[in-house]
Amino acid sequence: MRPGDLLGSSWRAIRSHKMRSALTMLGIVVGIASVVLTVGLGLGTQKDVSEEIAALGSDLLIVSPGSSTDESGMRGGFGSGTTLTRADAEALASTVAVPDAMAVAAEKTASVSLEYGESNWTTTVTGTSTSWTEVRSRELLYGSFFDEDDLDSSASVIVLGTETAEELFGSTYVVGQELTIDDESYEVVGVLAEAGSSGDTSLDDLAVVPMTTMVDSLDDSGSSESVATIYIKAASSDLLSAASQEAEALLLNLHGLASADDADFTIDVQDSLLDAATSVYQKLTVLLTGIAALALLVGGIGVMNIMLVSVTERTREIGLRKALGAAPANIRNQFLIEAMILGLSGGAIGVAIGVGLAVALPPVLDSTIVISGLALVVSVVVAVGIGAVFGVYPAARAARLAPIDALRDQ
Residue 123 is predicted with a pLDDT of: 94
pLDDT tens, the chain, 410 aa long: 566 656 666 666 667 777 777 777 787 888 888 888 888 887 787 777 666 665 555 678 899 887 654 455 444 445 446 789 999 999 999 888 899 999 999 999 999 999 998 999 999 999 999 999 999 889 999 999 999 999 999 999 999 999 999 999 999 999 999 999 988 999 999 999 998 766 567 889 999 999 999 999 888 776 788 899 999 998 887 788 889 899 999 999 999 988 888 888 888 876 655 566 666 667 766 776 677 677 667 777 777 777 777 766 666 666 666 666 667 777 777 777 877 888 888 888 988 998 998 888 888 877 788 887 887 888 888 888 877 777 777 767 666 766 665 555 54
SS (H, E, C) the chain: CCHHHHHHHHHHHHHCCHHHHHHHHHHHHHHHHHHHHHHHHHHHHHHHHHHHHHHHCCCEEEEEECCCECCCCCECCCCCCCCCEHHHHHHHCCCCCCCCEEEEEEEEEEEEEEEECCEEEEEEEEEECCCHHHHCCCCEEEECCCCHHHHHCCCCEEEECHHHHHHHHCCCCCCCCEEEECCEEEEEEEEECCCCEECCEECCCEEEEEHHHHHHHHCCCCCCCECCEEEEEECCHHHHHHHHHHHHHHHHHHCCCCCHHHCCEEEEEHHHHHHHHHHHHHHHHHHHHHHHHHHHHHHHHHHHHHHHHHHHHCHHHHHHHHHCCCCHHHHHHHHHHHHHHHHHHHHHHHHHHHHHHHHHCHHHHCCCCCCCHHHHHHHHHHHHHHHHHHHHHHHHHHHHCCHHHHHHCC
- What is the number of alpha carbons within 13 Å of residue 42 lying toward its C-beta? 21
Those residues whose C-beta lies under 8 Å from the C-beta of residue 194, and which sit 6 or more positions away, are 141, 162, 204
Residue 372 is predicted with a pLDDT of: 79
Q: What are phi and psi of 97, to 5 degrees?
A: -75, -40
Residue 276 is predicted with a pLDDT of: 61
Those residues whose C-beta lies under 8 Å from the C-beta of residue 201, and which sit 6 or more positions away, are none
Those residues whose C-beta lies under 8 Å from the C-beta of residue 50, and which sit 6 or more positions away, are 274, 277, 278
Residue 251 is predicted with a pLDDT of: 92
Those residues whose C-beta lies under 8 Å from the C-beta of residue 286, and which sit 6 or more positions away, are none
* Contact of 154 with 186, CB cutoff 8 Å: no
Those residues whose C-beta lies under 8 Å from the C-beta of residue 41, and which sit 6 or more positions away, are 285, 288, 367, 369
Rg (CA), the chain: 33
pTM assigned to the model: 0.57
- Torsion, Cα 345 351 357 360, to 10 degrees, reads -110
- Torsion, Cα 310 311 316 320, to 10 degrees, reads 110
By C-alpha distance, which of 334, 355, 346, 350 is closest to 387? Answer: 346
Helix axes 373-400, 18-56, angle to 10 degrees: 150
Domain boundaries, the chain: 3-52+276-408, 84-263
CB atoms within 10 A of CB 151: 19
